[in-house]
Chain A
Amino acid sequence: MSTKPTLSDPKGPITGAEAIVRSLAAEGADLIYGYPGGAIMPVYDELYKFQDHINHILVRHEQGAAHAAQGFARVSGKVGVCIATSGPGATNLVTGIADAMIDSTPLVCITGQVPSHLLGSDAFQETDIIGISTPVTKWSYQITMVEEIPAIIAKAFYIARSGRPGPVLIDITKDAQFASADFSYQPCTRIRSYKPVPPTAETDLVQAAELINQAKNPMIVWGQGVILGQAEEEFRAFVEKSGVPAAWTILGVSAIETAHPLNVGMVGMHGNYGPNLLTNECDVLIATGMRFDDRVTGDLSTYAKQAKIIHFEIDPAEVNKNVEVDVAVMGDVKHTLAAIMPHIETKTYTEWLGRFKELDAIEFDKVIDAEINPTKSGLTMGEVIKTINANSKGDAVIVTDVGQHQMIACRYAEFVQSKSNITSGGLGTMGFALPAALGAKMGAPEREVVAVIGDGGFQMNIQELGTIFQTQAAVKIVILNNDFLGMVRQWQQLFFDKRYASTEMVNPDFVRIAEGYFIDAKRVTEREEMTAAVAEMMKSDKPYLLEVCVEKENNVFPMIPSGASVSDIRLE
């Protein structure tokens, strides 16, 4: 038996495959997700040898590997790593890569490739993954020579995590994995043509501060940039000193706690009534680490036209992309928010904050009360989320899939700490939550992780129950089962005269499926059982699946119909 390898620098040449694994270890990537196959087998052989240093999680589908790496990255703030073979292995990653691109999640994806002398020959499992992934990666590179490996992997991690984060794909031919070369690892700290953080102009800071100080009815909309920039403390200080009511985009939630007196709720299509309506009444709009997605703005020609707009942003391509701004404060929000503080006057806006509260009260009467305190028979999604809150005290990581349950979960979940809401925002990828929850649990094992998933989306990566079973990651899975592709059904009801084309689902027995994977499971249909079942699930220290059969044809409100103005938000 050979002795186990250590991470100290090898004496003499090593194979490319070993260089890949040592490079990952050097970047601190001790937890990676993947699936083996021909073109990546040399790397798997090394992962076997280095298993004391790198924990490789065998998923059940490469899409699961990408989403698990995303969940890991978003809960931990580290770079997520996934690995796959050439051809179908690589193409199966693509949805996760696209999701990571649009939601700025740092990923390094490694794919095997056919030997370089076969490139372009339509060899077995050859696919042009660089070509396929180009539009959905921050950077990609094909390695054909063993000598390139450490420097390129170092570059990949640097690009993935720096500036506005994003996914990087490194495709490595099999001959480069087999060949040998000397190895030494130097982290990458600079690339000549790449400036991750644009410089901040002092004049912009001063101008922004002037606008903020002179404002009568200012409002902040913050996004994931605050979390990605690890600027939660700076942001809180800015909000509290300026006294400005602050609303969040779906990816920004949890950067400051739900109960904060200046937290006025969510903007966007299914956001809160107050912040959406008052977007069109504020005099200064302070966009912080957000990108004016169309789901946030609705019709651009009627979006905040009355307001002066300030944009704190790291990515120059986002400035004036969707909304013309008056002052762009470029740079990393951790730096810019701290730098603007000396210029900011301490203020409170009692009357203006009162407007948000009035509108909250209207929303509560018309929408929220019936959703979280229902009196009619038939469970609502909102009361399930409320019960989860009560059990978690807001301290759980909530991972959601895509659909009605996502909107309800993000609207009603309560948070007390950052990096606690993980959802597929920009791409809206059904099938995201189950693998992402696994990644989140492994990235923050001390935290409670609850995946809230629809009956539709659950079946899009249902196979990852196998990974959850094998790893015993104690993910809590709540299926909010309405036997419908609910969000699409809602649109059919409202905009297509109730023609429910292909949205009704005849579902399997989810509990028996979970049991097939030896995962504890329960189904509830009544209110009394639901409360007890949620508590039981939350107490468990093992993976647990709870299917809650909810009302089939409930709708999510408020709603800004697609293409309408934020002012046209509907309560029913």
Chain B
Amino acid sequence: MEQKTYTISIYSENNVGLLSRVSAIFLKRHINIDSLNTSMSEIEDIFRFVIVAKLTEEQVNKIVKQIEKQIEVIKAFYHTDEETIFQESALYKVKSNSLFEQRQIQNVIKKSHANIVTVNPEFFVIEKTGFREETEQLYNELAPYGLLQFVRSGRISVTKSPMEITHILKEFSK
């Protein structure tokens, strides 16, 4: 079966151990996680994981069931790229003198719709949010000027369809 990029969204109670329970499910099946992000969700006290991995539909289906089986997990979903709106953020730290000495770099920044987060005499930091190709393109364009640091976040995503967690929680309390 064909592998695809799937985004797994998990709504859970906050628990110290849950992250390792979830990653153990991948480890046990010898599957790589491409990115993982945890944050608060739209509901108070409920947390959200967003995990991206390349899987077959059969694999993702079974993994999501194993995730849902964990005591603190309220609900888990999986979606393809077409079914989600997703973004990643990247930060690029560059030497300040290149900003002033190489006029080209200013064009690069402008063209890429990146933001300058901070500038000081030694370095400046650019932030770019978008698809993987966009943050990668900016990386390639900035690399020749010397990148002091580069970092990219995990994918965050929302789905086009509703997730109805509030409704599911009500079901649980029945």
Q: Which residues of A contact B (CB under 8 A)?
A: 130-131, 134-135, 138-142, 159, 190-195, 315-317, 320-321
Contact = CB atoms under 8 A, between A and B. Distances in A.
12 contacts: A134-B24, A141-B17, A190-B173, A192-B173, A193-B13, A193-B74, A194-B71, A316-B65, A316-B68, A316-B69, A317-B68, A317-B69
B13 A131 contact: no
A139 B72 CA distance: 9
A192 B21 contact: no
Nearest to B58: A320
B65 A134 contact: no
B30 interface: no
Nearest to B172: A192
Interface string B83-110: 0000000000000000000000000000
B71 A135 contact: no
B73 interface: yes
B28 interface: yes
Contacts of A321: 62, 65
A311 to B, nearest CB: 14
Given A134-B21, A138-B71, A195 B172 contact: yes
Contact of B28 (A135, A139, A141, A191): A135
Contacts of B172: 192-195
A129 to B, nearest CB: 12
B72 A193 contact: yes
Interface in B1-52: 12-13, 16-17, 20-21, 24, 27-28
A131 B21 CA distance: 9
B163 interface: no
Interface in B157-174: 169, 172-173
Nearest to A140: B17
B153 interface: no
A141 B173 CA distance: 23
Given A193-B74, A321-B62, A134 B20 contact: yes
B112 interface: no
A142 B16 CA distance: 9
Name the residue in B13, B62, B65, B73 with the highest tally of chain A Cβ atoms < 10 Å from its Cβ.
B65
Given A141-B17, A193-B13, A317-B69, 18 more contacts: A134-B20, A135-B21, A135-B27, A140-B17, A159-B71, A190-B173, A192-B13, A192-B169, A192-B173, A193-B71, A193-B72, A193-B73, A193-B74, A194-B71, A195-B172, A316-B65, A317-B62, A317-B65
Contact of B12 (A139, A191, A193, A315): A193
A144 B95 CA distance: 47
B115 interface: no
B44 to A, nearest CB: 13
Contacts of A195: 172
B74 A131 contact: no
B33 to A, nearest CB: 16
B43 to A, nearest CB: 12
Contacts of A135: 21, 24, 27-28
B66 interface: yes
Contacts of B61: 320
Nearest to A131: B20
Given A192-B173, A193-B172, A321-B62, A139 B71 contact: yes
Contacts of B65: 316-317, 321
Contacts of A142: 16-17
B66 A317 contact: yes
Nearest to A194: B71
Contacts of A194: 71-72, 172
A159 B28 CA distance: 23
A190 B174 CA distance: 10
A191 B74 CA distance: 10
Contacts of A315: 69
Contacts of B24: 134-135
7 A-B pairs with the lowest CB-CB distances in the bound complex, closest first: A317-B65, A135-B24, A193-B74, A139-B71, A194-B71, A317-B69, A193-B13
Contacts of B20: 131, 134
Nearest to A190: B173
A382 to B, nearest CB: 38
A490 to B, nearest CB: 29
Nearest to A191: B71
A193 B165 CA distance: 11
A130 B17 contact: yes
A321 B69 CA distance: 14
B99 to A, nearest CB: 43
Contacts of B71: 138-139, 159, 191, 193-194
B112 to A, nearest CB: 42
A317 B65 CA distance: 5
Contacts of B69: 315-317
Nearest to B65: A317
Contacts of B12: 193
B19 to A, nearest CB: 10
A465 B135 CA distance: 66
A195 B72 CA distance: 10
Nearest to A324: B58
A193 B24 CA distance: 20
A130 B21 CA distance: 10
B79 to A, nearest CB: 19
A134 B17 CA distance: 8
Interface string B53-68: 0000000011001101
